Structures are given as structure tokens and as C-alpha cells.
């Protein structure tokens, strides 16, 4: 077996964790989830979710990986063999998310190419839905696959595999570039976004909380799961990254650094998007709340609009923006893959390369669904099930297995034996009580809502397939992997 890799330095780890956390989730997912869930009200819920669940769970995952020196499945399996399958189910959710995450990156590759000529023209909406995706009439009308997206998907997977080819040592180096470059570009775009004519209408919507919206449990579930998605928790990855840390490490302060940089980036990205939405609303005379851009296509419609409106160097900024999106996405994408591969390696003792290639090839083919004409619909449906149910359930399971079965007291002892910041009883209360109770209530609510009406009015059958993946296929795969013979047996 190969030796378990280790980070070259503290900064490599912090940057890799930030790189994983900051990704398309901040610039692509956060804005549309926020726009669909009450704008300013969502921001309030997001911050509450960060404090009551996001940060405590991040600390829990990193330290559990560190303690057991294993990814999610191995860590939960070490606590009790009976829970190993749940760990694998968590790995499965990560895998499914990777497949559509890669599809969004393939759109970004295509847009990077288009940016050289500003090929999207004035009607950025039509360009995205029709020219780029070739969107079909509904989830069961698959249409064809556009060649540029296939090329994009190939490029995405090749870059992912290249970045993790040598494990944490390469990752530690790549992330210096993939964290710094996007940030600089983002700052410029935010400044332009908020200075567009009419931006204030969008910004008002973004920053003024309508507290009545907070009465809707859906907004809260959206906020909790966005925090999980964005911090990369409820996957296997933070366990794996924690397991690569040296014995003595500043776990708690590093977790704070990661969480704060990630949230600030999302909130900042929101300024650019909502500024531009305000501008669009002024141009079209449609109120911000009624702009029909909500959904996973939002960023790909809105950012090209901002780029068109720049006073000069539009092409340059277009290229920079999509390059930024790719550099933002790549370190998240490879960390997603890493979460899966580290679990497989721990269990079966496969070589690093063999594991990466197998996962990549399999992931690549699964991605075809998301770049077909019906891709956007499926992306929306699967993303909904993976996040609203998958991540919420994953975090719930972790709080139970680690918090109750293993015990927060023991984990706290481990964490507090490390140098730097310590944690106290509040952390234990969040893990054992606050986060799980909130998640159970929100999940229950969402299940009832789904029984009453399908998600976003998709056909029941499409929704059923999403539910099938989440509630049948993933747990089943979890069982099979847990039962499979490990390298030590």
C-alpha cells in the first residue's frame, strides 16, 4: 500500500481547504439559491446556519479524519462497523455531486472560449439556454449533446485528474494559484456589478431582509444546505483533508479561517450578481423578483451581461471571468473526487492512480446526462435531492454517529490537545442538539411539502427518479461497499 500523503505545510492545507470550499457554490449556486429564497432574508438564515451548524460540523469532520486517519467511510467504520455503510452513502452523495459539478465546469470551458469574441451577444439568456445547452422541452426529452460541452467535459476531467495525480503534494502547490487568481478577478467584477445603472434595485433586494420570508422552513433548509455545500461538509472531503494533517496542527483556527473566507466570498459574489440583476431589471422594466432568470442558469446569464456593460476591455474581462470560474471550480472538483478516491483507497488498498482513473472515467460518463438537452432540468432536480436531502441527512448522520455514538467529549479532548484555539461546551451542544434538531424539523417539513406538490412543478416521474437515486441507489451502493471485502480481510 502507498503511504498516506501529508500536506507539505500548514498553508497548503489551509489553501486546499479554502480551495475546496470556495467554488462554483459561491459564484454560481449561492446567488440563485439566495434569489429563489428571499434575497436578504436568506442572508440572515445563511449566517445563522453557519454558526449553528456549518462551523461546528466543519471542526467535527476535520478532527474526526485527523483522529482516525481515514476518510468518511473509514472513520465512521472505525467508530462502529455498523455505520460504515452510512459513511459510504456520504461518499456516494459526493460522487453524484461531482458528476454535475463537472457539467457546470464544462459550460464554463465553453464560455471561456466564447469570451474571446464575446460570442454571447446582447441576448445572453437565449445564448445560454438555446445556443449553449440546446435546452429541450422537459426532463424526458433528452435532445442531443452539444459538441462544445462534450469537449468541455473532457477538459474538465483531464484537468481534475492532472491536479490530483500525485496526491496532497501536487494539490498543495496547485491551490496557491487556484485560490489567489479568482479572488483578484472577483473584486473587479464586484466593483463593476454594483456600479451598473439601476444596480441599487437588485442590491436592495439582496440586502433588505423581509422577515416574513423567514417563516418559511424552505428558506431555512436552503440556507443550511447551502452552507454545507459551500463549506464542503457532509461529503467525505473534510475528513480526508483532516487525515492528511500532521499530528500537531491548528485545527480550530484553521477551520475558522476556511469558514470565514468562504462565506465572505459568497456574500461578495452576491453583490456582483444582484447589482447586475438590478441593472437587467431597469433595462427590461421587470421587477427584480420577477426576472425569470432564477435557477442554475443565473450566473451564466448575468455575468455575461455585466461583461457586456464594462466600458472597455470587455473581452479581456470576459476571458478573466470564465478563467476565474474554472480556477474556482477546479480545486473544489478535485477535492470532491479526492473525497471519493480516498475512501476507496482506504478500503481496497488500490493505488492512487488506478482509483483516480476509475472514478474519473465513471464520473465522465455519468456527466452525459447533465450536458444533454434535458441536462439543466436533471441538474436542478438531482442538485435539489442531493443537497436538500442528501447533505442534510449526511450531516445529521454524522452528528449522531460522531456526537452520540462516539462522543463529543472524546473528540473535544482530541481537539483541545492540539495547539492553538480550543473549543468548549457550546460546540458540543451544537453538534449533539442544536444542529440535529433543526435538521430533523426542516427535513420533515420538506418531505411533507414534496408529498403535497412536486419540486418546481417537475413531472412526478422525474422527481421520483431523483428520489430513487437519493433514497434507494445511494444507500444500496453504501451497503455494497461496506460489505465488500477490504484489503485487510
For ligand PHE, the binding residues (CB under 6 A) are 20-21, 23-26, 229-230, 232, 235, 237, 332, 335-336
Distance in angstroms (rounded) separating the CA atoms of residues 261 and 22 = 8
Minimum CB separation from ligand PHE for residue 108, in Å?
A: 12
Q: Which among 437, 55, 441 is positioned nearest to 230, based on CA atoms?
A: 55
How far does CA 90 lie from the centroid of its chain?
14
Find the residue with minimal CB distance to ligand PHE: 25
How far does CA 61 lie from the centroid of its chain?
16
Distance in angstroms (rounded) separating the CA atoms of residues 137 and 129 = 11
Which residue, 99 or 232, has its beta carbon nearer to ligand PHE? 232
Which residue, 221 or 386, has its beta carbon nearer to ligand PHE? 386
Minimum CB separation from ligand PHE for residue 232, in Å?
A: 4
What nine digits make up the cell of 409?
A: 467529549
Minimum CB separation from ligand PHE for residue 380, in Å?
A: 16
Contact between 60 and 406 (Cβ < 8 Å): no
Which residue, 331 or 463, has its beta carbon nearer to ligand PHE? 331
Which residue, 225 or 232, has its beta carbon nearer to ligand PHE? 232
Minimum CB separation from ligand PHE for residue 229, in Å?
A: 5
Contact between 399 and 435 (Cβ < 8 Å): yes
The one-character DSSP state at 214 is: G
How far does CA 397 lie from the centroid of its chain?
19
Contact between 71 and 236 (Cβ < 8 Å): yes
The one-character DSSP state at 215 is: G
Which residue, 37 or 332, has its beta carbon nearer to ligand PHE? 332
Minimum CB separation from ligand PHE for residue 54, in Å?
A: 11
Minimum CB separation from ligand PHE for residue 226, in Å?
A: 9
SS3 307: helix
Look up cell 472597455; give the residue: 312
Minimum CB separation from ligand PHE for residue 34, in Å?
A: 13
Which residue, 288 or 386, has its beta carbon nearer to ligand PHE? 386
Distance in angstroms (rounded) separating the CA atoms of residues 458 and 137 = 12
Minimum CB separation from ligand PHE for residue 329, in Å?
A: 7
Which residue, 225 or 372, has its beta carbon nearer to ligand PHE? 225
The H-assigned helical ranges of 116-198 are 124-126, 147-164, 168-195
Q: Which among 22, 321, 334 is positioned nearest to 173, based on CA atoms?
A: 334
Distance in angstroms (rounded) separating the CA atoms of residues 382 and 388 = 10
How far does CA 312 lie from the centroid of its chain?
33
Which residue, 324 or 418, has its beta carbon nearer to ligand PHE? 324
Which residue, 260 or 448, has its beta carbon nearer to ligand PHE? 260
Which residue, 104 or 402, has its beta carbon nearer to ligand PHE? 104
Instruction: Give the number of other Cβ atoms within 10 Å of residue 69's Cβ.
Output: 17
Minimum CB separation from ligand PHE for residue 186, in Å?
A: 14
Contact between 41 and 32 (Cβ < 8 Å): no
The one-character DSSP state at 235 is: S
Minimum CB separation from ligand PHE for residue 163, in Å?
A: 13
Q: Which helix (H) or strand (E) holds 426?
A: helix 425-429
Amino acid at each position: 500500500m502507498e503511504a498516506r500523503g501529508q500536506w507539505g505545510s500548514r498553508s497548503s492545507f489551509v489553501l486546499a481547504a479554502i480551495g475546496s470550499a470556495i467554488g462554483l457554490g459561491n459564484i454560481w449556486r449561492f446567488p440563485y439559491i439566495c434569489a429563489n429564497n428571499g434575497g436578504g432574508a436568506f442572508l440572515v438564515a445563511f449566517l445563522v446556519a453557519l454558526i449553528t451548524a456549518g462551523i461546528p460540523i466543519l471542526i467535527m469532520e476535520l478532527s474526526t479524519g485527523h483522529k482516525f486517519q481515514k476518510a468518511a467511510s473509514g472513520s465512521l467504520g472505525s467508530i462502529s462497523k455498523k455505520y460504515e455503510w452510512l459513511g459510504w452513502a456520504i461518499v456516494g452523495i459526493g460522487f453524484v455531486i461531482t458528476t454535475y459539478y463537472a457539467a457546470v465546469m464544462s459550460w464554463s470551458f465553453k464560455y471561456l472560449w466564447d469570451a474571446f469574441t464575446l460570442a454571447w451577444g446582447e441576448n445572453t439568456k437565449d445564448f445560454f439556454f438555446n445556443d449553449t445547452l440546446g435546452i429541450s422541452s422537459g426532463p424526458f426529452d433528452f435532445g442531443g449533446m452539444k459538441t462544445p460541452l462534450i469537449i468541455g467535459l473532457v477538459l474538465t476531467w483531464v484537468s481534475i485528474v492532472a491536479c490530483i495525480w500525485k496526491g496532497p503534494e501536487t494539490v498543495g502547490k496547485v491551490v496557491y494559484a487556484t485560490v489567489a487568481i479568482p479572488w483578484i478577478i472577483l473584486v473587479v467584477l464586484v466593483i463593476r456589478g454594483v456600479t451598473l445603472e439601476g444596480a441599487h434595485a437588485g442590491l436592495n433586494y439582496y440586502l433588505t431582509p423581509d422577515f416574513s420570508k423567514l417563516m418559511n422552513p424552505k428558506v431555512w433548509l436552503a440556507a443550511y444546505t447551502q452552507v454545507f455545500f459551500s463549506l464542503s461538509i457532509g461529503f467525505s472531503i473534510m475528513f480526508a483533508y483532516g487525515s492528511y494533517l500532521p499530528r500537531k496542527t491548528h485545527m480550530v483556527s484553521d477551520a475558522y479561517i476556511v469558514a470565514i473566507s468562504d462565506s465572505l466570498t459568497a456574500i461578495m459574489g452576491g453583490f456582483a450578481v444582484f447589482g447586475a440583476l438590478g441593472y437587467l431589471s431597469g433595462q427590461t422594466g421587470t421587477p427584480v423578483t420577477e426576472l425569470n432568470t432564477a435557477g442554475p442558469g443565473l450566473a451564466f446569464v448575468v455575468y455575461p451581461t455585466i461583461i457586456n456593460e464594462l466600458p472597455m476591455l470587455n473581452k479581456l474581462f470576459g476571458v478573466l471571468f470564465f478563467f476565474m470560474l474554472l480556477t474556482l471550480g477546479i480545486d473544489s472538483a478535485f477535492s470532491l473526487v479526492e473525497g471519493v478516491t480516498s475512501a476507496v483507497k482506504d478500503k481496497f488498498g488500490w493505488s492512487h492512480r488506478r482509483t483516480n482513473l476509475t472514478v474519473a472515467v465513471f464520473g465522465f460518463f455519468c456527466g452525459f446526462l447533465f450536458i444533454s438537452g434535458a441536462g439543466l432540468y436533471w441538474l436542478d432536480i438531482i442538485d435539489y435531492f442531493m443537497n436538500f436531502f442528501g447533505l442534510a441527512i449526511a450531516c445529521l448522520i454524522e452528528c449522531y454517529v460522531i456526537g452520540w455514538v462516539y462522543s463529543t467529549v472524546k473528540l473535544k479532548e482530541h481537539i483541545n490537545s492540539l495547539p492553538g484555539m480550543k473549543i468548549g461546551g457550546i460546540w458540543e451542544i451544537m453538534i449533539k442538539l442544536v444542529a440535529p434538531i433543526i435538521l430533523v424539523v426542516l427535513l420533515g417539513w420538506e418531505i411533507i411539502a414534496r408529498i403535497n406538490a412536486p419540486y418546481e412543478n417537475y413531472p412526478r416521474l422525474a422527481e421520483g427518479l431523483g428520489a430513487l437515486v437519493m433514497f434507494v441507489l445511494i444507500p444500496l451502493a453504501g451497503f455494497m461497499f461496506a460489505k465488500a471485502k477490504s484489503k485487510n480481510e
